[in-house]
Amino acid sequence: MTYLTVSGPYQLDVTQREEPYRPAPDGVVVDIVYTGICGTDVHGYTDGHMLPPAVFGHEWTGRISAVGAAVKGLRVGQRVVGGVGPACGHCPQCRAGHARQCDTAFAEANGVDPAAPPHGAFAHRVAVAARRAIPVPDALTDVEAALVEPATVAFHAVRRAAIEFGALAVVQGAGPIGLLTAQHARNAGAGRVIVSEPSPSRRETALRLGFTDVVPPEDLAPLLAAASGGLGADVVFECAGVASLFQPSAELVRRGGTLALLGFPLTTSTVSYGDWQARELTVIGSLAYNHDDFLATMQAIASRRLDVKALHTATIPLSGLREMLEELDSGASPQTKVLVDPNA
């Protein structure tokens, strides 16, 4: 079997493993069907050092090929996605009553838990803790299952923002996370969703998903002013991860509104503390997800309230990963969500 890892900036290593993986007593081995390429993977490839090994290739779905002796509730042949387990009940956060901030699940989400594999799922198979293998409903196709993880990232953020029914929402950035966030916001009861995106192809995808207020960034301010009577948005979801957009994003929010942060900038940001205080903004950070977010997201896909297939624009073999990472890093790629098929 083959797996790909990053060893330095723009350095992609290909490793051949001869011996089969054996599951830990509380683990499983999963044969990968698809792995999605995430912006985090692109940054990890170009930076060379920022990602724990297990995170490079973290959006995966596959079928269980081996089950540890102590595992219950999972079986060989079962379709699963990679996620996080339920709150553990014994970490400091859980013991303090903050189960939604479980340290164990957070470590799993970031690839630093004790059972984290030595590589991610740009591979033929991975061995992971059984608690991280979440069964896939029969109603989901393999392509849909491969997109559950990013859809769950967006679900978690929208859930934390606690949108009020009829709210005016702005989504900045119509990449995969932005397009999923816009759909979740609509499902959560937003009365109007404005999507801002510089890429024509991504704006077209947003239109196909049923959003009518889809504009390039230079047209956002006048449209928002007209839609809100000059007040600003009830909630702005910043999904671009561009550090320079931090304060301008906050300025789109009405007094007393909410700025929800999904994009992850790799440099520091300058903001106006006084502006935020004077306008009583609520600023919500969001990173990763909880176990129950996965279950709710899969139900949304199964009930056809969330369209993830529309984001899938290409499937490539493992041998094409380096070229695609560089294309996505260029900023000029027409792709929205690319899947890697290790068996192609």
Residues recognised as catalytic: 40, 43
Handedness of CA 290, 296, 299, 300 (dihedral sign): negative
Alpha-helical runs (H) found in the chain: 39-47, 92-95, 103-109, 142-146, 148-161, 176-187, 200-208, 220-228, 246-250, 273-278, 291-302, 321-329
- Of 279, 238, 343, 264, residue with least CA distance to 55: 264
User: What totals of helices (H) and strands (E) does the chain contain, helices first?
Assistant: 12, 15
Number of Cα atoms under 13 Å in the Cβ half of residue 308:
28
Instruction: Specify the 3-state DSSP secondary structure of 230.
Output: coil
Give the span between the Cα atoms of 56 and 44, in whole angstroms. Answer: 7
- Using only C-alpha atoms, the chain has a radius of gyration, in whole angstroms, of 20
- Of 27, 29, 32, residue with least CA distance to 2: 32
122: phi then psi, degrees, rounded to nearest 5: -80, 70
Q: How far is CA 164 from CA 11, 158, 177, in A?
A: 46, 11, 21
Please give the span between the terminal C-alpha atoms of the chain, in angstroms, as a whole number.
Answer: 13
CB neighbours of residue 157 within 10 Å: 27
Q: How far is CA 67 from CA 116, 310, 318, in A?
A: 16, 34, 26
Q: Tell how far CA 78 is from the center of its chain.
A: 23
